Amino acid sequence: MPTRVLVVDDDTSERSDLAEMASALGFQVTTAGNGREALEKLTAMPVSVILTDLVMPVMSGAELLRELAARGDRTPTVMLTGFGTLDQAISMVHNLKAFWYLEKPVQPGVLRTLLDRAIQQHDLVAETERLSRQLSYQGVLGEMVGDSPQMKEVFSLIRQVAPTTASVLITGESGTGKELVARGIHQLSKRSAGPVIAVNCAALPESLIESELFGHEKGAFTGAVERRAGCFEQAHHGTLLLDEIGDMPVGTQAKLLRVIEESKVRRLGNANDIPIDVRVLAATNQRPEKAIQEKRFREDLYYRLNVFQIHLPPLRDRKQDIPPIAAALLCHLNRKHNCRVTHVGPGVLSRFDVYSWPGNVRQLRNVLERAVIMAGEGEIQLRHLPDALAPAPPPVPQDQSADVLRVRVGTPMNEVEEAYIRLALAYTKNNKHRAAELLGISLRNLHNKVRAWANRDTKAASANSVDL
């Protein structure tokens, strides 16, 4: 399909200016005066990318995006924003999955980059989807384990993107496994025999980060006592992971972009460029769109790195992964500490299942490491868990009706009692007299139990705020 762009704008002169600009940039152009007309044109002829104004009579840019989504049409769309519509355009990117927004007046150079990137990313995603349909799923990739549909999707994306040269932006909360994803991509790439270097952009003071990345010559600055190759040179023929990219100083980001674009690096204190062959992966636990909006993350660098994105969901959204990850970690931790722990007990697994895991897999690993050391052998039991992991289980599982308690076998008796009493309280709308009556216990007994739970929860909440 030729690279065709659909320009949608109700203002005739703006529309023809944009059409002219796009055509001068080498795109074939179709135009429409509003969203409705755009849909008609799209039915007649598919396009590679849509460039649309936001505010239009008949059918606005937002309505057009909604209609495209409803039709399953995923043609990438760039929103044009005029004065006062920036917030709306950003929300289109977040909520309606527009590719990006472009502020008027439009600059030809920016327009070209944006249209190229939109098309490139769209093609890659389409190719990935095609290939991933051909793949059989497995629950393991390198050191990564996961049975959930979300992790199988992540494994599939890793397998697809690994053999390419595309940059990958890996996002997800702290401890979700971003570094493991990066290592998985390296291992499955043609560069697996080469080095994989990880640099944490948050850990380095601003003054040191450039010398760390690009290297320096002896005497380049005070303290440069000898010549040093930077991470790019060290990762030659291999992979460089820029960890916590969202924390890199903005000035350094501009230099980084140049190095990536030109595949050349210049050591501090040297006037010559050194050619480098490095695949760049980047990871961040921040939301990149927000960092860009706050001008902490350069938009052009984001485009360059975000050719492909892999998002790791938090562990609380994929609890199904906990048992297999725990089993894999047990093997590793047994070896590390010379222990013979056989399994995680059912009571512990149900506790794990109701816990929210703010520190994700890293926290699970730390909890298990402590438990393996404490248990030494046999089963991991509740007494091997830190207190912080013992907040009240949710009183009523969500899949039950208001007057029925469903309990998983292996749930400790005290938890069953608590869940049952909480259910009675919820059922009576917190009428303690009535709840005590239903439960067949004294009001005083009920009060004591509720107070004890409240004390325990307060303690657990304060312990929880300390990193486990």
Residue 31 or residue 176: which is nearer to ligand ATP going by CB? 176
Give the interface segment with ligand ATP, choosing from 102-110, 138-146, 251-259, 288-296 (CB under 6 A): 138-146
Angstrom distances, CA of residue 198 to CA of 31, 182, 284, 287, 403? 47, 9, 13, 21, 53
Using DSSP, state whether 4 is helix, strand or coil.
Answer: strand
**Inter-residue contact 33 to 41 (CB < 8 Å):** no
List binders of Mg ion among 170-199 (CB under 5 A): 178-179
- Nearest distance in Å: CB 319, ligand ATP: 13
Q: What is the residue type of 124?
A: L
Q: Which long-range contacts (CB under 8 A, 24 or more apart) does 334-339 make?
A: 334/372, 336/369, 337/369, 337/372, 337/373, 339/372, 339/373, 339/375, 339/376, 339/377
Q: What is the residue type of 107?
A: Q
Residue 178 or residue 279: which is nearer to ligand ATP going by CB? 178
Count of residues engaged in binding Mg ion, rule: CB under 5 A: 2
Count of residues engaged in binding ligand ATP, rule: CB under 6 A: 18
Q: Could you say which of 34, 285, 350, 464 contacts ligand ATP (CB under 6 A)?
A: 285
> From ligand ATP, Mg ion, none, which one binds at residue 87 (CB under 5 to 8 Å depending on kind)?
none
Residue 79 or residue 145: which is nearer to ligand ATP going by CB? 145
> From Mg ion, ligand ATP, none, which one binds at residue 362 (CB under 5 to 8 Å depending on kind)?
ligand ATP
Residue 178 or residue 183: which is nearer to Mg ion going by CB? 178
Residue 312 or residue 435: which is nearer to ligand ATP going by CB? 312
| Residue 21 lies near ligand ATP (rule: CB under 6 A) | no
Q: What is the DSSP annotation of 340-391?
A: EEEEE-HHHHHHHHH---TTHHHHHHHHHHHHHHHH-EEEE-GGGS-GGG-P
The CA-based angle 321-322-328, given to 5 degrees, is 95
Residue 54 or residue 161: which is nearer to ligand ATP going by CB? 161
Q: Could you say which of 35, 146, 246, 393 contacts ligand ATP (CB under 6 A)?
A: 146
Instruction: Return d(Cα 140, Cα 266) in angstroms, integer.
Output: 40
> From Mg ion, ligand ATP, none, which one binds at residue 180 (CB under 5 to 8 Å depending on kind)?
ligand ATP
Residue 178 or residue 216: which is nearer to Mg ion going by CB? 178
Q: What is the CA 49 to chain-centroid distance, rounded?
A: 25
Residue 179 or residue 353: which is nearer to Mg ion going by CB? 179
β-partners of residue 101 are 79
Question: Interface mask (CB under 6 A) for ligand ATP, residues 179-218, using x and -?
Answer: xx--------------------------------------
| Residue 175 lies near ligand ATP (rule: CB under 6 A) | yes
Residue 330 or residue 439: which is nearer to ligand ATP going by CB? 330
List binders of ligand ATP among 337-366 (CB under 6 A): 361-362, 365
Q: Could you say which of 61, 76, 172, 288 contacts ligand ATP (CB under 6 A)?
A: 172
Instruction: Return d(Cα 390, Cα 388) in angstroms, integer.
Output: 5
Instruction: Return d(Cα 366, Cα 273) in angstroms, integer.
Output: 44
Residue 101 or residue 355: which is nearer to ligand ATP going by CB? 355
Any residues with CB less than 8 A from the CB of 292 and at least 6 apart, and which?
298, 299, 302
**Inter-residue contact 364 to 321 (CB < 8 Å):** no
Helices (H), 264-321: 288-293, 299-305
> What is the H or E stretch that residue 216 is in?
strand 215-216
Q: What is the CA 455 to chain-centroid distance, rounded?
A: 36
Q: Could you say which of 145, 168, 256, 396 contacts ligand ATP (CB under 6 A)?
A: 145
> What is the H or E stretch that residue 433 is in?
helix 432-439
Give the interface segment with ligand ATP, choosing from 109-117, 171-179, 290-298, 388-396 (CB under 6 A): 171-179
> From Mg ion, ligand ATP, none, which one binds at residue 384 (CB under 5 to 8 Å depending on kind)?
none
Give the interface segment with ligand ATP, choosing from 28-36, 176-184, 252-260, 458-466 (CB under 6 A): 176-184
Angstrom distances, CA of residue 256 to CA of 39, 113, 128? 41, 18, 28
> From ligand ATP, Mg ion, none, which one binds at residue 77 (CB under 5 to 8 Å depending on kind)?
none
Give the interface segment with ligand ATP, choosing from 91-99, 169-177, 211-219, 349-357 (CB under 6 A): 169-177
> From Mg ion, ligand ATP, none, which one binds at residue 92 (CB under 5 to 8 Å depending on kind)?
none
Instruction: Return d(Cα 447, Cα 73) in angstroms, integer.
Output: 58
- Residues that bind ligand ATP in the complex, under the rule CB under 6 A: 143-146, 172, 174-180, 285, 325, 328, 361-362, 365
Enumerate binding residues for Mg ion (CB under 5 A): 178-179
